[in-house]
Every structure is written in C-alpha cells, then in structure tokens.
C-alpha cells in the first residue's frame, strides 16, 4: 500500500495544502500517523486516510466557494 505526504494528498484531492492542514488542526479530518524522520515529525497518509478526506471534501466543500451551505429545513 503506497504512502503519501500531505502535499501529495492535497494535490491528489485538488485542495490547497493549507486547506488540508487547516482541516487537520480544526479536527475536521482525523490526523494520519506521524513518523519521526531526521529530527522532524511528518504525516504519513495511506489510501484509507485519503479516502476519509475525500469523503469529507465531498460532503462539506465546494471549490471556489468554500464550505457548502447547510441544508434548509
């Protein structure tokens, strides 16, 4: 199973890296596992993590207009 960096995941999902990081920091998307490498911790994404973010994006995000409006009741 391939592993991806945060930048690769953002590119794959057609969102800006800053948007993806904001989703992580806001707790909207579950953090992937981290690996310590050369004194730094990096996020390592697998296909399951990517699918989870893709699902979140489809349900909550529209390119160019940001968040989807809440459904009218």
Q: 68 pLDDT band (50/70/90 cuts)?
A: low
pLDDT at 60: 85
Check residues 2 and 32 and name the one with the higher pLDDT.
32
Q: For residue range 14-26, what is the model confidence (pLDDT) as tens digits?
A: 999 999 999 999 9
Helix, strand, coil in percent for the chain, rounding step 5: 40, 20, 35
46, 8 Cβ separation under 8 angstroms: no
- pTM equals 0.79
Place of tokens 């490498």: 37
What sign does the CA torsion over 26, 29, 34, 37 have?
negative
């Amino acid at each position: 199973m391939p592993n991806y960096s945060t930048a690769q995941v953002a590119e794959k999902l057609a969102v800006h890296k800053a948007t993806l990081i904001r989703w992580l920091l806001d707790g909207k998307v579950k953090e992937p596992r981290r690996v310590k490498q050369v004194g730094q911790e990096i996020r390592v994404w697998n296909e399951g993590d990517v699918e989870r973010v893709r699902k979140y994006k489809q349900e909550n995000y529209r390119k160019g207009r940001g968040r989807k409006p809440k459904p009218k009741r």
